[in-house]
Chain A
Amino acid sequence: MRSFKEIFEQYSWDEIKKRIYAVTPEEVQHSLYKRKKTLADFLNLLSPAASTELETMARITQSTTQKRFGKTIQLYAPLYLSNECQNICTYCGFSMDNGIRRKTLNNIEILSETFALKEMGIEHVLLVSGEANKTVGIDYFLNAIQLLRPHFAHISIEVQPLSEEEYRALHEAGVHSVLVYQETYHQEVYQRYHPKGKKSNFSFRLETPDRIGQATMHKIGLGVLLGLEDWRVDSFFNALHIDYLQRQYWQTKYSVSFPRLRPAEGIIEPNFIMEDRELLQLICAYRIWNEDLELSVSTRENEAFRNHIIHLGATTMSAGSKTNPGGYSVDKQSLEQFETSDERSMEEIKKIIREAGYDPVMKDWEHYL
């Protein structure tokens, strides 16, 4: 199978880094106003040189996003199925070496959480778990999806990397979209943060979107964990990945998320701090480069940032999120994966979106699609 690995190996981290930091203001201008944008333009727009053009980038981002997506924001909420995990990820609250109480939802608990989400008006749900293949593997997911499917219009899943056959099975069971983040494209740094468990296999993770694409999934969500390495370089590689995938799996939609490292119990401080201004620059760079990417901003981000991002490129937002299994109804006190910064309820977020002149969309999918 042809995969992204072949392309990835033609690039050097250090070379790309050098290029990003050598971008000139003239190159930024050129990229801002070119008609058809390429990856080289994305590189220019996420460079330090482009940071002085943020207002212009924001203006282009706003009009481009409105043209393609209208004045709408899609809303979803995560449903954490389990915090069991056999990986050691030194930044994650669910890390195996973290002595927390482990919890995996049973059927009754899954339905209880479902009804709590339905009360909030949720139609698009994102299923999340740690990586514990024996107890929370494909059979567990298929069972959960069977329970959930009658209740939601759109089901996404963010779990450990699976095989192509397993993705096919998920797709047939009613999953429309799979999210898998590379965390970082810097191989040595990746190894350092993921010393143990199945996740320590960098290449297997790198080729995961290919397997999802082969399984004809409707949507693939990508991203890097902002804070592990230099976000500019990591984001270039993430865009390179998307550029490859869009050509290879042309019937699939792509979305990008922007998980910035947030405090969680027992984890280390991020190595690289990404400021709000930089996150906005990155979001704008993605939008100006690629008009039809869905850009998703979660409750990791703070209220003020989220209030403004509604009209600055975001297409999708979560709201009222609980990041612990059972958090909505079953076991409100279990340990969360990360602290949410925006704790406002779904109703409050809808109100904010309307006040910004946008329409909050709860449902934009059907299960027969």
Chain B
Amino acid sequence: MTNLTIADKPFSSRLFLGTGKFGNLEVMRQAIIACESELATMALKRINLQSEADRFLDALQISNVNLLPNTSGARTAEEAVLAAQLAREALETNWVKLEIHPDPRYLLPDPIETLKATETLANLGFIVMPYIHADPVLCKRLEEAGTAVVMPLGAPIGSNKGLRTQDFLEIIIEQSRVPVVVDAGIGAPSDAAKAMEIGADAVLVNTAIAVAQNPVQMAIAFKEAVKSGRRAYEAGLAMPHTEASASSPLTSFLLGE
């Protein structure tokens, strides 16, 4: 299978992990290791940047795993840009997952603030990975603004509802010049496999693993699903046919019978 490349960085795993909601940081660590993910996001607001040792940050020090700070909690472009700058300073990374949700109920991303923040951060040299609605036009606008990837949602975050936005995801995948990472809503390994089958470049999973009865086993299940979904995509998945095609009653006259 081909590698994924984001901003010149190759990834051999197409499964990204969110690190919220785990009941036990050691289990979180084991789950990340078990699924061989190379990119884990973490909420900046949960880390104590002032103190020398932070339990959460310490648990995420795993070889081959890149940390992707996210701006969760930010409600405006301004707050998100500030968060990204603090993260760059404290964690020495210019990668940032942009999450701007003024709505605290469904944590739905604000497209206007996200576009603004992407423009600013890209100009400041950040590798920007914005969490967005499955909005194909917004994706093109973000590309123009210099985004590194787009991260459209499959369903409301934490809902485990799967690919409710599949029609729009397919348009985004068809049109995109940057990698498409399906973020939010993926509730089961089969959802992840489906996202990969339709051509997503990667998926980001959190709740479905963190809240599983056995997070480590669930992480492995997702690893396998993502791999087989991607393999199927690359192998050229046969599209389902809605009608039988044994004979051609409408066009057989062309054969001059």
A contacts, CB < 8 Å to B: 66-72, 123, 153, 218, 246, 250-253, 292, 354, 357-359, 361, 363-366, 368-369
User: Are A368's CB and B75's CB within 8 A?
Assistant: no
Closest to A367 in B: B45
Residues of A within 8 A of B11 (CB): none
* Residues of B5-58 contacting chain A, CB below 8 A: 20-25, 43-48
Across the two chains, which residue of chain B brings its CB closest to A251?
Answer: B102
Q: List 25 interface pairs A-B (beta carbons < 8 Å), by A numbering.
A: A66-B21, A67-B159, A67-B160, A68-B158, A69-B21, A70-B21, A70-B210, A72-B23, A250-B103, A251-B104, A292-B104, A292-B105, A358-B23, A361-B46, A364-B43, A364-B45, A365-B45, A366-B44, A366-B45, A366-B83, A366-B86, A368-B82, A368-B83, A369-B73, A369-B75
Specify which chain A residues have a CB less than 8 angstroms from the CB of B160 in the assembled complex: 67
Against A, the Cβ 8 Å flags (1 = close, 0 = not) of B103-140 are: 11110000000000000000000000000000000000
| Distance in Å: Cβ of A249 to nearest Cβ of chain B | 10
Closest to B212 in A: A66
- B215 nearest CB across to chain A (Å): 9
Inter-chain contacts of B210 with A (CB < 8 A): 70-71
Is there contact, CB below 8 Å, between A71 and B73?
Answer: no
Closest A residue by C-beta to B49 = A366
CA distance in complex: A68, B160 (Å):
10
**B45 touching A251, Cβ below 8 Å:** no
In the complex, the answer to whether A70 meets B211 with C-beta atoms within 8 Å is: yes
Please determine whether A357 and B45 come into contact, CB atoms closer than 8 angstroms: no
Contact B207 A70 (CB under 8 A): yes
Query: Nearest Cβ in chain A — how far from B19, in angstroms?
Result: 10
Total A-B pairs, Cβ < 8 A: 75
Q: Are B23 and A252 in contact (CB under 8 A)?
A: no
Contact B23 A357, beta carbon cutoff 8 Å: yes
Extra A-B contacts (13), CB below 8 Å, given A251-B75, A364-B43, A364-B45: A70-B210, A71-B210, A72-B21, A153-B48, A251-B102, A253-B104, A357-B23, A357-B24, A359-B23, A361-B46, A366-B44, A368-B82, A369-B73
Residue B234 is within 8 A (CB to CB) of chain A in the complex: no
Q: Which of B24, B73, B104 contacts A359 (CB 8 A)?
A: B24
Give every chain B residue within 8 A of A354 (Cβ-Cβ).
Answer: 24
Q: Looking at the complex, which one of B23, B45, B74, B75 makes contact with A363 (CB distance below 8 Å)? A: B45
Pairwise interchain contact B73-A366, C-beta atoms closer than 8 A: yes
Give bound CA distance, A86 to B159, whole Å: 48
Residue-wise, chain B 65-89 has the 8 Å CB interface mask toward A (1 for contact) of 0000000011100010011001000
**Which residues from chain B contact A123 at a C-beta distance below 8 Å?**
48
Q: Which 3 pairs across A and B sit closest by C-beta, in order of nearness?
A: A70-B21, A71-B23, A253-B104
| Distance to closest chain B CB from A98 (angstroms) | 38
Contacts of A72 in B (CB 8 A): 20-23
Which of A70, A364, A368 interacts with B86 by CB under 8 Å? Answer: A368
Among A252, A253, A358, A369, point to the contact of B45 (Cβ < 8 A).
A369
Residues of chain A lying within 8 A (CB to CB) of residue B24: 71, 354, 357, 359
CA distance in complex: A251, B110 (Å): 11
